[in-house]
Amino acid sequence: MNLSFPGQKQKPVSPSDEDRRSEFLTSEEIQREASGDEAVPVRTRRSAPDSQCGLRSVLLQVRDLGLGYDSDETVLFKYCGGSCPRARSNYDLTLSNLLLSGRLPQPAPGEPWHSVPCCRPTHYEDMAFLDNSHRWHKVEKLSAAACSCAD
């Protein structure tokens, strides 16, 4: 499910890997390992240019997720990243114009007003693993399953 708007020329982005067998990653997707660098980005989209909004993934140990779990299992954390095209609607155009011209008060730092769509997940995936005390855990909505430029 991707968000789209009438009159919208921009094609909603979607991952091309939904039907892929992810056990066979292409050469550009095989984990690149820098020395001493554990977490390395792995691209899962083959055709999109690097900067566009899309699904990306990184192979990590569960403990590196920063959620407090103690497990030696490694998981493929999928996230949405990349840029979305600038103005998509009249709202966006107007808002950015008014912010630039000073007609609107500037937002406080840390509370930005988005005048561009951002790359966000449209679906999430759960993840289960066994921790080092041999207890099973399931983390809901851990990874992104699909991305789109959301308003």
Partner 1 sequence: LKCPTRPEPRVPHAVLSAGGRDCLHAGDTCSSDDTCSPRLRTLRQCVAGDGSMKLGPGARSQCENAMTALLSTPLHGCQCKRGMKREKNCLSIYWSLHQSVLHVNRCLDAAKACNIDETCQKLRTEYVSACIQPSARSGPCNRPKCNKALRKFFDRVPPDYTHELLFCPCTDTACAERRRQTIVPSCSYEEKDKPNCLAQLRDCKQDYVCRSRWAQFQYDCEASEHSASGCKRENHGSCLLAYTGLIGSTITPNYLDNSTSNVGPWCSCAASGNHREQCNDFLAFFHDNICLILHVPTPFQVPPLWCPAAIQFSFILICLLLLH
Binding site for partner 1 (CB under 8 A): 17, 20-25, 27-28, 30-33, 59, 72-76, 125-130, 134, 136-138
Residue (62 or 149) nearer to partner 1, CB: 62
Nearer to partner 1, 142 or 149 (CB): 142
Give the DSSP letter of residue 94: H
Q: Which is nearer to partner 1, 76 or 95 (CB)?
A: 76
Between the alpha carbon of residue 109 and those of residues 51, 105, 106, 113, 151, the distances in Å are 26, 12, 9, 10, 20
Sign of CA dihedral 99, 104, 110, 115: negative
> From the CB of 92, what's the least distance to partner 1, in Å?
35
Using the CB atoms, write b or e for 74-94: b if 16+ within 10 Å. ebebbebebebeeebeeebee
Nearer to partner 1, 37 or 111 (CB): 37
- Rounded least distance, CB 22 to partner 1, Å: 4
CB of 137 to partner 1, least distance (A): 8
> What whole-number distance in Å separates Cα of residue 51 and Cα of residue 56?
11
Rounded to a whole number of angstroms, the minimum distance from the CB of residue 24 to partner 1 is 6
Q: Which pair of structure tokens corresponds to residue 119?
A: 């790359």
